Amino acid sequence: MEPAILPQAMIETVTRPGDWVIVLPIVLALMGAALALILRKAAGLGFVTALAVVAGIIACEISLLLTIMETGPVSMTMGKWLPPFGISFTADAFGASFALAASVVTFIVLLYAEADRPAASAGDGFHSLVLMLLCGVTGSFLTGDMFNLYVWFEVMLIASFGLLVIGGRPIQLDAAVKYGFLNFLATSIFLLSLGLLYGLLGTLNMADIMLVAPLANPAAMVGVAALMLLAFGMKAAAFPVNAWLPAAYHAPPAAISALMAGLLTKVGIYALLRTLVVVLPATRDVLEPVLVVLAVATLVIAPLGAIAETNLRRAIGFVVIGGIGAVLAGIAMPSLDGVGGAGLYIFHAMLTMTALYLVAGLIEKQTGEVDSRRMGGLYASSAPLSLLFLVLMLGAAGVPPLLGFWPKLLLIEAGLAEGNWSGGVLVAALLANAVLTMIAGSRLWAHIFWRNDFTPETTMVVTGPNRLHYLATGALTLMIVAAGLWPNPLFEAVRIGAGDMVDPARYSAAFGLAEVTP
Amino acid sequence: MDYVIAALVGCFVAMGIYMLLSRSLIRMLLGMVVLGNGVNLLIFTAGRLMRDVAPIVPKGLEQPAGPIANPLPQALILTAIVIGFAMFCFLLVLAYRAYQTLDADNTDTMRVAEPEHAPQPPLSY
């Protein structure tokens, strides 16, 4: 047997030392989670470990992002086996900046949660679960392999189950049952579509799929893509399959809700963006009418839910769902502006939705209530809180100087440039979403802060927020406002990231795949 | 043979979905397991079935002699089985805890997180 029978299977060039930053965040998070588990009984050490690890991850991701901005997407293949055998980690500007946003959000939430946690809670594994969650999220953003994406989804899922039930109050168990079953079902459907994809193409590497997908049976590929749309739609809480989100996100403590709102649905919608726009563009064109309908329904119906809701954090949950509609609109319009708007919206939503939940937690702490009907008149006792909430709600609705405005601007430009009925409908839905979110936000603001006929019904002792709470929330809000006021670096990143998504030549060239596979 | 296995996958998935549609947590959990096994079998079938040839290089050779089965689906399924089993265990414990705490095995009566008659938001300020 001569070795020449098999095609070239290994990458023979040496991995550049700089490429290691692409796997380092995941390695750090995994090791940090293990270390935090070992140190779980030592008061304070788990927190310090987690904070240090997340700071290290942020440093790695900043350096990764700088490399990508300079030289284009970075790829590293495990074991140097070429696809379809080796598992690749590939990051372009979008993946890396979302991973960066995820770790920044985690850093803030760790600070906030530390101010929150009672002294008796040491040993519940909170810090290692948070690091595992970050590991799964970062892995999903940086992976270049569909099956690996499934694995990171599951890592993320099991960590979020753990976070959701820490404490074990009945409401958390109830929420975790719904959250757990529906998300597990979604990943099963994703796995189903992966099996079919592998059967059709014989490869699961994203760059490799881009090369061979046009040769496969188009009808079967559309079936696979539709299954993926269902699976990722469930993960992202797109309109008809969103029921689990408002049922689950208000149950755990506010810090954990904030972390989940910032990270989980965004990973789902990012996976959809990556799969449909970059990996399987031909099937996206077939599914476009479905995407338009889903986007419009999600954009319009979700904020109506927020208006009808009295529980503060449940109402914010509906605002989170509405944001998913904006990203779906971007997926339905795969131009440079559309994809750029979708990407920027994910970035904005990761920061803003987390901050909103953190502020909601502060409000709940101040009033000792979760129901917005029984809060009220809070303005008198806490004016800064009212300002934070107002700014973030306006940001979520997309009012000009704030971060939420810029992605919507890009999306609306994309819709107008589309020049057909679907573009027009999407623009109308985006504007309707902004107005409805604004109504929902201002109603909540008025109920919580403005009404002055407030008489506390309960006499429970309220432990108000402390300085660390305000520091964490304020820092995040400041970041959002600053990013909104000086958006130019963001636009630069979006231009590069969306460019690589719309035309993924540089993405697949990062593998060195172009020369090897015909 | 492929057709038989494909039909079996169909049966598994249909059974899993049927059981997931029930209201009892334990039935849903079993449905999940059946569905998961159907999916694993599907990956296996999608990797092309071959008889009697293990994906192993014989002793003393550099390359496998003759045709071999595709090892990749086996690796994929192994991962999926492990993950699916971990999920199943967690959900089983969760369902048991929920049964103990909420005294409910029926998803219709689990309304702690979403109260049944949600109040209207105030209509004026």
Decide if A1 and B63 are in contact by the 8 Å CB cutoff.
yes
Decide if B46 and A451 are in contact by the 8 Å CB cutoff.
no
pTM value? 0.92
For chain A, positions 96-155, list CB contacts with chain B under 8 A. Answer: 147, 150-151, 154
Q: pLDDT, tens digit, for every residue of A59-85?
A: 999 999 999 988 888 888 877 777 777
Decide if B101 and A158 are in contact by the 8 Å CB cutoff.
no
**What is the percent of chain A where pLDDT is above 70?**
92
Interface A:B, Cβ pairs < 8 A: 127
- How much is the pLDDT for A463? 63
Tokens of A396: 């979520």
Decide if B46 and A196 are in contact by the 8 Å CB cutoff.
yes
Q: pLDDT, tens digit, for every residue of A494-512?
A: 999 998 888 888 887 876 6
Residues B102-121 have a mean pLDDT of 80
Residues in A touching B84 (Cβ below 8 Å)? 188
- How much is the pLDDT for A455? 57
Residues B59-69 have a mean pLDDT of 79
Residues in B touching A449 (Cβ below 8 Å)? none
- How much is the pLDDT for A104? 95
Q: SS3 for B112?
A: coil
| Residue A10 pLDDT exceeds 80 | no
CA distance linking residue B46 with residue B40, whole number of Å: 10
Q: Which long-range contacts (CB under 8 A, 24 or more apart) does A466-469 make?
A: A466/A115, A467/A115, A468/A111, A468/A112, A468/A114, A468/A115, A469/A112, A469/A115, A469/A116, A469/A358, A469/A361, A469/A362, A469/A365
Residues A372-389 have a mean pLDDT of 81
Contact A37, A139 (CB under 8 A): no
Mean pLDDT check: name the lowest of A22-31, A41-50, A242-251.
A41-50
Tokens of A96: 């890396």
Residues in A touching B118 (Cβ below 8 Å)? 309-310
For chain A, positions 450-479, list CB contacts with chain B under 8 A. Answer: 450-451
For A191, the closest of B39, B90, B101 (CB atoms) is B39
| Residue A118 pLDDT exceeds 90 | no
Grade residue A515 by pLDDT with cuts at 50, 70 and 90.
Answer: very low
Mean pLDDT check: name the lowest of A2-11, A78-87, A157-166, B112-121.
A2-11
Residues A265-283 have a mean pLDDT of 92
- How much is the pLDDT for A2? 43
What mean pLDDT, rounded, does chain A reach?
87
Report the relative pairing of strands A74-77 and A88-91 from DSSP bridges.
antiparallel
Tokens of A391: 């700014």
Nearest residue to A154 (alpha-carbon basis) of B36, B118, B28, B95: B36
- Which residues, 6+ apart, have CB-to-CB distance to A255 below 8 Å? A109, A112, A113, A116, A358, A361
CA distance linking residue B125 with residue B122, whole number of Å: 7
- How much is the pLDDT for A119? 65
Tally Cβ neighbours within 10 Å of residue B11: 12
CA distance linking residue A460 with residue A466, whole number of Å: 18
Grade residue A371 by pLDDT with cuts at 50, 70 and 90.
Answer: confident
Question: Which H or E run contains B14?
Answer: helix B2-20
What are the start-end ranges of the H helices in A202-311? 206-212, 218-236, 244-248, 254-273, 281-308
For A165, the closest of B20, B39, B94 (CB atoms) is B94
- Token pair 């920061």 in the structure block, residue: A351
Question: Which H or E run contains A48?
Answer: helix A45-71
Q: pLDDT, tens digit, for every residue of A188-216?
A: 999 999 999 999 998 888 888 988 888 88
Grade residue B70 by pLDDT with cuts at 50, 70 and 90.
Answer: confident
Contact A127, A50 (CB under 8 A): yes
- How much is the pLDDT for A452? 66
Residues A96-104 have a mean pLDDT of 94
What is the DSSP annotation of A316-356?
Answer: HHHHHHHHHHHHHHHHHS-SHHHHHHHHHHHHHHHHHHHHH
Contact A204, A147 (CB under 8 A): yes
CA distance linking residue A456 with residue A375, whole number of Å: 8
Q: What is the CA radius of gyration of chain B?
A: 22
Grade residue A518 by pLDDT with cuts at 50, 70 and 90.
Answer: very low
- How much is the pLDDT for B40? 93
Q: Give the phi and the psi of residue A384 in degrees, each rounded to 5.
A: -60, -35
Any chain B CB within 8 A of the CB of A81? no
Cis amide linkage into residue A73, ω under 30° from 0: no
CA distance linking residue A107 with residue A130, whole number of Å: 10
Grade residue A514 by pLDDT with cuts at 50, 70 and 90.
Answer: very low
Grade residue A364 by pLDDT with cuts at 50, 70 and 90.
Answer: confident
Please name the residue of chain A whose CA is at the shortest distance from the CA of residue B101: A170
Q: SS3 for A262?
A: helix
C-alpha distance from A80 to closest chain B C-alpha (Å): 16
Mean pLDDT check: name the lowest of A73-82, A271-280, A481-490.
A73-82
Mean pLDDT check: name the lowest of A81-85, A285-289, A423-427, B80-84.
A81-85
Grade residue A11 by pLDDT with cuts at 50, 70 and 90.
Answer: low
Please name the residue of chain B whose CA is at the shortest distance from the CA of residue A162: B90
| Residue A5 pLDDT exceeds 80 | no
What mean pLDDT, rounded, does chain B reach?
86
Q: pLDDT, tens digit, for every residue of A224-272?
A: 999 999 999 999 999 889 989 988 999 999 999 999 999 999 999 999 9
